[in-house]
Amino acid sequence: MNPEKKQRYYERVEEKVKELPWYVGEYIDKKRRKLSSASLLNYCHDYNIFFDWLLAEGYFKGSRKEVSLDVLEKLTVQQMEDFLSFLEFKLENSPLTINRKLSALKSLFHYLQNIAETSELEPYITRNVVAKIELNDVKEDPETIANRMEGKMLRGDEYEQFRQFVAHEYGLVNKDNKKLSNFHKKNRERDTAIISLILGSGLRLSEITGLDLDDIDWHKNTVRVIRKGNKEQYVYISDQAALDLKEYLTIRKETYGINKSNKALFVATTMGPKGTSRRLTDRSIEKIVEKYAAAFGKPSLSVHKLRHSFATRYHLENNNVPKLRRQLGHSSIQTTMIYTHLTNDEMHKAVNKADN
């Protein structure tokens, strides 16, 4: 994550912390060295939901940030089960999402009971009800996950068809809509470069938005990214992605009115008479992909699904899980193994064709 984006996340964390009890702010502060700014923001969001639920249920009379430690200490197992039911049936959270929010609470309560100390060297709380609540038993084998992902990705000829659609056909389809047509004409090189880069590298969304001009090594066709855990890595990109990036860079400065100080690779269209160019955000790129995906007839496509599409094709063509793991930046080889199941059907078809 680039420093500018990281700073924005930390500023949002600071805003959220001000809305939460003092001990939550203390806990978040202690976690800054170990968790990314994005993870801290997710924690704050999860805690907001929990404390708002406490107030809505009448377990505390006052504001969210005034909820005292003794309120947490007196919560019963049944009340916590009620909270999980609220997440499942009212907020319609999936078992995996519920587990994530429960894990955030477990981490907070563990800190309050076992790490934090008062001036008298006593723990903040002596009773930890969340420790008695078990996570949902969500066990999916790689093949099950692969089957769920299948059909939501690009396969076979669709890789190049989608790229061509973004580069050319979207404008033709919308030629009678002046606004859409003009917007596509202005941004097609940039949007094609974004799609081509994801399909030709498998980079994460945050890695795409964090790219600067200086991060590209044109001689080796690699880009420098900061992966999870703030690890620097040089990731290969396809020849087609490199070509599309070069085409975008020929129009970048003039089209987007960029000054020399702006090193962001992908920038947004300027707004207003005195508008200045700025780095595209995660959400901006998500919306770009969603727009083209819907028009292409595959609305389930997303940045993450394009990453899956790259990984599936890579494994099918190279059958090298360790290299794919490094390319995707996975910390666990088990995560990468999902793609071996995704390509089983295509490999079976290839074997059958060999008999013909």
Same domain, residue pair 90 and 176 = no
225-279 confidence digits (pLDDT tens):
888 777 888 999 999 999 999 999 999 988 888 877 888 999 988 765 556 778 8
CATH number at residue 313: 1.10.443.10
Assign 287 a pLDDT band (cuts: 50, 70, 90).
very high
pTM of the model: 0.60
Q: In this structure, are 102 and 151 located in the same domain?
A: no
Question: What pLDDT digit, counting tens, does each position of 299-335 carry?
Answer: 888 898 888 888 888 777 877 788 888 888 877 777 6
Residues 286 and 196 both lie in one domain = yes
Domain that holds residue 207: 144-354
Do 211 and 118 sit in the same domain of this protein?
Answer: no
In this predicted structure, the answer to whether residue 223 has a pLDDT above a threshold of 90 is yes
pLDDT classification of 20: cutoffs 50, 70, 90:
very high
* Count of structural domains within the chain: 2
Same domain, 161 and 249: yes
* CATH code at position 69: 1.10.150
CA-CA distance, 103 to 135, in Å (whole number)? 8
Asked if residue 88 and residue 37 are part of one domain, the reply reads yes
Domain co-membership, 127 together with 11: yes
Tens of pLDDT along 67-112? Answer: 999 999 999 999 999 999 999 999 988 888 898 999 999 999 999 9
Same domain, 330 and 197: yes
Residues annotated as part of the active site: 204, 228, 304, 307, 330, 339
pLDDT in tens, 164-193: 999 999 999 999 999 999 999 999 999 999
Three-class SS of the chain: CCHHHHHHHHHHHHHHHCCCCHHHHHHHHHHCCCCCHHHHHHHHHHHHHHHHHHHHCCCCCCCHHHCCHHHHHCCCHHHHHHHHHHHHHHCCCCHHHHHHHHHHHHHHHHHHHHHCECCCCCECCCCCCHHHCCCCCCCCCHHHHHHHHCCCCCCCCHHHHHHHHHHHHHHHHCCCCHHHHHHHHHHHHHHHHHHHHHHCCCCCHHHHHCCEHHHEECCCCEEEEEECCCEEEEEECCHHHHHHHHHHHHHHHHHHCCCCCCCECCECCCCCCCCCCCECCHHHHHHHHHHHHHHHCCCCCCHHHHHHHHHHHHHHHHCCHHHHHHHHCCCCHHHHCHHHHHCHHHHHHHHHHHCC
